[in-house]
Amino acid sequence: MHQQYDVLIMGGGLSGLTLAIQLKKKAAKLRVLIAEKTAHPVPEAAHKVGESSVEIASHYFENILGLKAQLDKELPKLGLRFFYTQGDNLDISKRSELGPNDFPAAKSYQLDRGRFENALAEQCLQLGIDFQDNCKVTDIVLGKNQHQVTLVHNGQESLVQTSWLVDSTGRMSLLKRKLKLAKSAYHNINASWFRIDHEINIDHWSQKPEWQGRVKSSRRLSTNHLMGKGYWVWLIPLSSGATSIGIVADAKIHPYAEINTFARAKVWLQKHEPQCAQIIDQHLDKFQDFLTLKHYSHNCKKMYSADGWAITGDAGVFLDPFYSPGSDFIALNNGFISDLIIKQDSGEDIATRTEQYEKLFRTLFLAFCPVYEDQYPIMGNAKVMSIKIIWDYTLYWSGAALLFFRDKFCDLAFMEIAATSLQQIYQINLQMQGFFRCWAEIDLSSAEKSDIFINYSNIEFLQQLNKDLLKDQNDTELQQQLAQNVGLIRELAGEIVTEACVGAPELKAYAPGVPVSYSRYLSDVFDRLR
């Protein structure tokens, strides 16, 4: 360990390791230190939330960080899959199912976080990054691009100077606490999760040939969601052969005290997801560990400073795991931070850019909030939740993912041009999320339906949006694509509202101000849900 660095990253988890790699790949001359408090290598079954990645994060890992060789050792992800409550939830084949029957064009992965982070640490060492495990931060003195950090490494105290200090300490949030930057999040959801060292394969939960034949690839490779009013349960396979199981629940419907220990979580599963509980009971001898988080959503007043500090990963913000966005936010955040560090190191005044990135990241976070806030009760309504999920996918692939794949978030000139389209998408989405809530309360027709399979691999416009992520486009073509996507979103909103009001005319009082649409993007889906 040296006494002077360009960048000191506190915390050697996913966000810190990936930021270090990104910095070194962009500017090899930077002297980077990672101070990680735990010993390495971590156990391969390290119990960390965030095993499931989606398109933004997967693109970040594979194409920006160049980690394809490691990703090939992880499990490919067969998208997100959703099973809705039906009767006593003892027969998976009777539950309505929304999911793909084949892999989409843009890849995603199931990550065994312990194994993956060990590989990232090795990559850091190969790139010349100073990675120090068993290294605890005991004091921080902030200056203007000249910070002093006291570290204790294997019992030996050292004083280190650094131009940039980045907090990636997870929920320890060292800088957030020191600078009193904590900000409450309205979204009040709790989670408990555990691992079983056994391959729990949802394909084996029913032997009915018709159910088995719906999907070309194994359902096990999806991030499987078992859903009911106010909750969802995840089943995530890991390359080590273990399975991650988590309960995520709205505190207003499922109190935290019902899931905050493994014993209580088992009782809760027996009540709400008895088939899942029975499978778990068969493998309790393979139980690994249990973690729980109360009110896991959190926010941060400030993420970046031109004085040379920044916050990334869970140390800053976290919203909701339903669509697996945690590593997406890491990718976005690390992109902003690495750009600021490299531009300042090259002599550029980054004061204005820092403010713009702060505003942009906060706007992105706020734009995602309506997707989750007050939406958990909808999870018990198969019709409305299926349409909402398709809608949410549409917006994700039409906007944020499209811009990230084109490396546009740090192109402020382009983002200024794109702002109008993005604002239009946000406003339509805000209205539609409120409409979904009203619709779910009024239209209960899907409660009696069972054994419906909605294969979103066959929704043509949705799969085209996914394929479009991989296209090469210049700025003019990308602007045209965004404008086209806004038009599609307007038409889709009109179609959803029109169809919903046919079945429940009283919904007209809550309908967003979108034109009536007679498009048929979702005609097959609505036919199945009638």
pLDDT digits (tens, 9 = 90+) for 41-62: 887 655 566 578 999 999 999 9
pLDDT value at position 433?
98
**What is the rounded CA–CA span in Å between residue 354 and residue 361?**
11
- pLDDT band for position 517 (cuts 50, 70, 90): confident
Question: Predicted confidence band at 94 (pLDDT cuts at 50, 70, 90)?
Answer: very high
* pLDDT at residue 240 in the model: 85
- For residue 446, pLDDT beyond 80: no
Strand order in 80-84's β-sheet? 287-293, 189-196, 243-250, 231-237, 223-228, 80-84, 97-99, 453-455
* Arithmetic mean of pLDDT, 222-241: 95
Q: What is the pLDDT of residue 42?
A: 82
**Mean local confidence (pLDDT), 322-350:** 97
Q: How many CB atoms lie within 10 A of CB 364?
A: 19
Reported as a single tens digit per residue, the pLDDT across 12-33 is 999 999 999 999 999 999 999 9
pLDDT value of position 48: 62
The answer, yes or no, to whether residue 359 has pLDDT greater than 70, is yes
Angle between helices 14-26 and 113-126 (to 10 degrees): 30
The DSSP secondary structure of 82-129, one letter per residue, reads EEE--TTS--GGGS-EEE-SS--SS--EE--HHHHHHHHHHHHHHTT-
- pLDDT number for residue 209: 96
Q: How far apart are CA 454 and CA 528, in angstroms?
A: 8
Nearest to 18 by CA among 67, 89, 91: 67
Beta bridge partners of 262: none
User: What's this model's pTM, rounded to 2 decimal places?
Assistant: 0.96
The two most distant CA atoms of the chain are separated, in Å, by: 71
pLDDT at site 518? 85
Say yes or no to pLDDT of 489 above 80: yes
Going by pLDDT thresholds of 50, 70 and 90, the confidence category of residue 317 is very high
Worst-scoring range by mean pLDDT, 163-167, 237-241, 523-527?
237-241
pLDDT at site 515 = 84
Residue-wise pLDDT tens digits, 102-122: 999 999 999 988 889 999 999
Q: pLDDT over 90 for what percent of the chain?
A: 92
Residue 449: pLDDT over 80: no
pLDDT of residue 160: 98
pLDDT of residue 49: 61
